Amino acid sequence: MDEIVRGIAWLLAEYPSIVPIPGTSNPNHIDENINALRITLSSADMEESENGFAEIKVESTRTTEALFANHDIGVNLGESSKGTQGKTPWPSSKN
């Protein structure tokens, strides 16, 4: 199994509510990516992937400071906005 298919299989196993949409213009790659749905990773496979991800170091921020200051705080925490926890450009409905 190649790295891309394994990554898709891991994502599906770890976060079943996320639907990965990998882009490709190669029909063979589409078929390979769909095969990730048929893969069941063992706990050892999942642990190996997690350990590999832990070794990846982030080298910089993902966005500019101005954009970061204005985006939804819940995203930083891995949650969606709830009530007034997140920043939003929409007017408050509490008026």
For residue 32, tell me if it sits in a domain.
Answer: yes
For residue 95, tell me if it sits in a domain.
Answer: no
- Number of other residues whose CB lies within 10 A of the CB of residue 12: 17
Mean pLDDT of all residues in the chain?
78
Q: Please tell me whether residues 45 and 73 are part of one structural domain.
A: no
| Share above pLDDT 90 across residues of the chain, in percent, rounded to a whole number | 22
Is the pLDDT assigned to residue 41 strictly greater than 90? Answer: yes
Average pLDDT of span 10-34: 89
For residue 70, tell me if it sits in a domain.
Answer: yes
Average pLDDT of span 21-43: 90
Instruction: Provide the whole-model pTM.
Output: 0.57
CA-derived radius of gyration, the chain: 18
What domain range is 81 assigned to? Answer: 60-88
User: Poorest-confidence range of 49-53, 60-64, 86-90?
Assistant: 86-90
Q: Classify burial at 33, counting beta carbons within 10 Å of its beta carbon; exposed 0-12, middle 13-18, buried 19 or more.
A: buried
- Number of other residues whose CB lies within 10 A of the CB of residue 36: 21
Domain count, the chain: 2
pLDDT value at position 82?
Answer: 53
Q: Please tell me whether residues 69 and 45 are part of one structural domain.
A: no
